[in-house]
C-alpha cells in the first residue's frame, strides 16, 4: 500500500505556508549537536505548518469555517491559519483549559466554546458542530495534509545541515515525526530518526493507553492512541522510539532556559531530555539535530521548575528550628544566616501542631545559597551558634 504522504506533498505544503511559516534557525549546542528552534515559529510551535497546508488545500470548501477540539498549539495554529485565509474558526476546549491559550485563540479571531470535562469530549463537540454547520473538522495530526505540512520542517533540516546524521523529534500523535522522517529520508535515507515520548503516555513505545487524565509537563504530546494515518508512517520511517520521565523533562526545560537561553515547553523539550539520559542517541559523526517543537510554556509552571532545579542543584536550603519567641529572637536567628552569606527567600512561624515551650516558636525558612558546600557551611555556622536546625 503506498504512503498517503510523499515528498511531492511536502514540497507543495511549503508553498502553501509561504509568508506565514518561518524557516526557523538551527542553534549550535556543541559537539555536533544543534537545536531546531520551532519555539521561535509563528504562534510559537510547529503546528502552524500543518494548519496552513490544511486550509490552503481546502480552498472554497473552508468558506463555512473550520473547527477543532484542542486546548493547545493546534487550536492557536488553526485560528491563525483561519484568520490568514479569512474563514470562520471555532475552537472547542475542555473545562479548565488554560486561560492564556483561550485568550490567544480569541485574539486571533476564533470563537471559543467550553465543551466537556476532557479533551475527548471537546473533540467530539467540535465534530458535532462541524456536521451541523457544514464546517470542516481539522484533526491535529491524523490527516495527510497536516503530516505533509509538518514535513516542511524536515526540508529545512536537509537544506541547513549538510552533514545531518540523526534527528531526535518529539512524538505525540505522530504528525511531526512522520512528516519530518519522510522529508529527511527522501533526501538522505541513512539519517536516523528517533522519536521521543513522555513515559506517562507512550503508545508508540508499546505501552497501554493510560486511563483518565494524563498529567505531564509534556501535555502537547500526551496522545493516548496513535492515528490511523500516522501510525503506519511512524512505524515505517522512525528508526527508534524512546521515553523520558517527568524529572528528565523538567530538567531539560530548565537547561534550555538557563544554558541555551531558549524558552521551550515540556513537549518541545523531550528530545533534550532523551539525549541527557542517553548521550549514545547522538550520532558518532556528523550533526545530531534535536527538534524543539514549541515554546508555549505554561507560565504558572515556571516558578515550580525553577524551585525544583535550584533545590536539586544545591542552591536552595530549607531548614526548621525552634527559637526564642521574644523580641529580637527572629532577627538574631536570621542574622546568623546573613553573616554566612545565605539570602533569605521566605520564612514562616510554626506555632500549631508542635510541643513548644510557652516562650518558643517554630520557624521554617528557605535560603538561597551558592552551592551544596556553602549550604553545609551555613548549617555548621547556625549549629555553632546553638541553634539545632534540621534540614528539610
pLDDT digit string (tens) for 81-98? Answer: 999 999 999 999 888 777
Which one of 101, 118, 293, 371 is the catalytic residue? 293
pLDDT score, position 94: 85
In the structure grid, which three cell numbers stand for residue 337, read together?
Answer: 544566616
For the chain, give the percent of residues with pLDDT over 90: 74
Q: How far is CA 69 from CA 13, 40, 77, 309, 361, in A?
A: 23, 24, 12, 34, 53
Under the banding of pLDDT at 50, 70 and 90, the label for residue 2 is: low
The residues facing 320 across adjacent strands are 364, 390
Residue 293 falls in the annotated catalytic set: yes
Q: What is the pLDDT of residues 138-168, one digit of tens each?
A: 999 999 999 999 999 999 999 999 999 999 9
Q: Of 16-20, 107-111, 289-293, 312-316, give the lowest mean pLDDT range.
A: 312-316
Neighbouring C-alpha atoms within 13 Å toward the C-beta of 177:
35
Dist. CA 202–CA 265, nearest whole Å: 18
pLDDT score, position 353: 60
pLDDT score, position 117: 81
Under the banding of pLDDT at 50, 70 and 90, the label for residue 358 is: low
Dist. CA 101–CA 97, nearest whole Å: 8
| Longest Cα–Cα distance in the chain | 82
pLDDT score, position 218: 92
Dist. CA 206–CA 201, nearest whole Å: 10
pLDDT score, position 127: 95
The residues facing 153 across adjacent strands are none
Q: How far is CA 177 from CA 48, 148, 377, in A?
A: 15, 11, 49
Under the banding of pLDDT at 50, 70 and 90, the label for residue 171 is: very high
Average confidence score pLDDT of the chain: 92
Q: What is the pLDDT of residues 245-292, one digit of tens each?
A: 999 999 999 999 999 999 999 999 999 999 999 999 999 999 999 999
Tell me: pLDDT of 318 over 80.
yes
Average pLDDT over residues 362-384: 93
Question: How distant is the alpha carbon of residue 318 from its chain centre?
Answer: 29
- 243 versus 350: which is more confidently predicted? 243
Domains (range + CATH), the chain = 7-45+143-304 (3.40.50.1100), 49-137 (3.40.50.1100), 314-391 (3.30.70.260)
Q: What is the pLDDT of residues 64-82, one digit of tens each?
A: 999 999 878 999 999 999 9
Cβ contact 78:115 at 8 Å: no
Sheet holding 390-391, edge to edge: 343-350, 360-368, 316-324, 390-391
Q: What is the pLDDT of residues 341-353, one digit of tens each?
A: 999 999 998 777 6
Dist. CA 177–CA 283, nearest whole Å: 18
Residue 70 falls in the annotated catalytic set: no
Dist. CA 363–CA 230, nearest whole Å: 56
pLDDT score, position 1: 47
Going by C-alpha positions, the residue among 164, 150, 168, 151 that lies closest to residue 271 is 168
What is the 3 state secondary structure string of the chain?
A: CCCCCCHHHHHHHHHHCCCCCCCCCEEEEECCEEEEEHHHCHHHECHHHHHHHHHHHHHHHHCCCEEEECCCHHHHHHHHHHHHHCCCEEEEECCCCCHHHHHHHHHCCCEEEECCCCHHHHHHHHHHHHHHHCCEECCCCCCHHHHHHHHHHHHHHHHHCCCEEEEEEECCCCHHHHHHHHHHHHHCCCCEEEEEEECCCCHHHCCCCCCCCCCCCCHHHCCCCCCCCHHHHHHHHCCEEEEECHHHHHHHHHHHHHHHCCCCCHHHHHHHHHHHHCHHHCCCCCEEEEEECECCCCHHHHHHHHHHHHHHCCCEEEEEEEEECCCCHHHHHHHHHHHCCCEEEEEEEECCCCCCCCCEEEEEEEEECCCHHHHHHHHHHHHHCCCCCEEC
pTM over 0.85: yes
Dist. CA 85–CA 371, nearest whole Å: 54
Which one of 47, 54, 101, 185 is the catalytic residue? 47
pLDDT score, position 349: 85
Under the banding of pLDDT at 50, 70 and 90, the label for residue 119 is: confident
Tell me: pLDDT of 312 over 60.
yes
Amino acid at each position: 500500500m503506498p504512503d498517503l504522504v510523499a515528498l511531492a506533498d511536502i514540497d507543495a505544503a511549503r508553498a502553501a505556508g509561504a509568508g506565514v511559516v518561518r524557516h526557523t534557525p538551527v542553534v549550535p549546542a556543541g559537539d555536533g549537536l544543534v537545536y531546531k528552534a520551532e519555539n521561535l515559529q509563528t504562534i510559537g510551535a510547529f503546528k502552524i505548518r500543518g494548519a496552513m497546508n490544511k486550509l490552503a488545500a481546502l480552498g472554497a470548501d473552508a468558506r463555512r469555517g473550520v473547527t477543532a477540539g484542542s486546548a493547545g498549539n493546534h487550536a492557536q495554529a488553526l485560528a491563525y491559519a483561519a484568520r490568514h485565509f479569512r474563514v470562520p474558526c471555532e475552537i472547542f476546549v475542555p473545562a479548565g483549559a488554560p486561560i492564556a491559550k483561550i485568550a490567544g485563540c480569541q485574539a486571533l479571531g476564533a470563537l471559543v466554546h467550553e465543551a466537556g470535562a476532557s479533551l475527548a469530549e471537546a473533540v467530539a463537540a467540535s465534530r458535532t458542530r462541524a456536521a451541523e454547520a457544514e464546517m470542516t473538522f481539522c484533526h491535529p495530526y491524523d490527516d495527510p495534509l497536516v503530516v505533509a505540512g509538518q514535513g516542511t520542517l524536515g526540508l529545512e533540516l536537509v537544506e541547513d545541515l549538510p552533514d545531518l546524521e540523526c534527528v531526535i523529534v518529539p512524538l505525540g500523535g505522530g504528525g511531526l515525526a512522520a512528516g519530518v522522517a519522510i522529508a529527511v529520508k527522501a533526501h538522505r535515507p541513512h539519517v536516523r530518526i528517533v522519536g521521543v515520548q513522555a513515559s506517562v503516555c507512550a503508545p508508540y513505545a508499546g505501552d497501554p493507553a493510560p486511563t483518565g487524565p494524563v498529567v505531564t509537563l509534556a501535555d502537547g504530546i500526551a496522545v493516548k492512541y496513535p492515528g490511523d494515518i500516522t501510525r503506519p508512517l511512524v512505524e515505517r520511517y522512525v528508526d527508534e522510539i524512546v521515553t523520558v520521565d517527568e524529572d528528565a523533562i523538567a530538567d531539560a526545560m530548565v537547561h534550555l532556559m538557563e544554558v541555551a537561553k531558549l524558552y521551550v515547553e515540556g513537549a518541545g523539550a523531550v528530545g533534550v531530555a532523551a539525549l541527557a539520559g542517553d548521550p549514545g542517541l547522538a550520532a558518532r559523526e556528523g550533526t545530531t539535530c534535536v527538534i524543539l517543537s514549541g515554546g508555549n510554556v505554561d507560565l504558572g509552571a515556571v516558578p515550580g521548575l525553577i524551585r525544583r532545579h535550584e533545590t536539586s542543584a544545591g542552591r536552595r536550603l530549607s531548614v526548621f528550628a525552634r527559637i526564642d519567641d521574644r523580641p529580637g529572637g527572629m532577627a538574631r536567628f536570621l542574622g546568623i544566616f546573613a553573616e554566612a552569606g545565605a539570602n533569605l527567600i521566605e520564612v514562616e512561624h510554626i506555632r500549631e501542631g508542635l510541643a513548644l515551650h510557652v516562650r518558643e516558636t517554630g520557624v521554617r525558612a528557605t535560603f538561597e545559597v551558592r552551592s551544596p558546600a556553602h549550604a553545609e557551611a551555613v548549617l555548621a555556622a547556625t549549629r555553632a551558634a546553638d541553634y539545632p536546625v534540621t534540614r528539610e
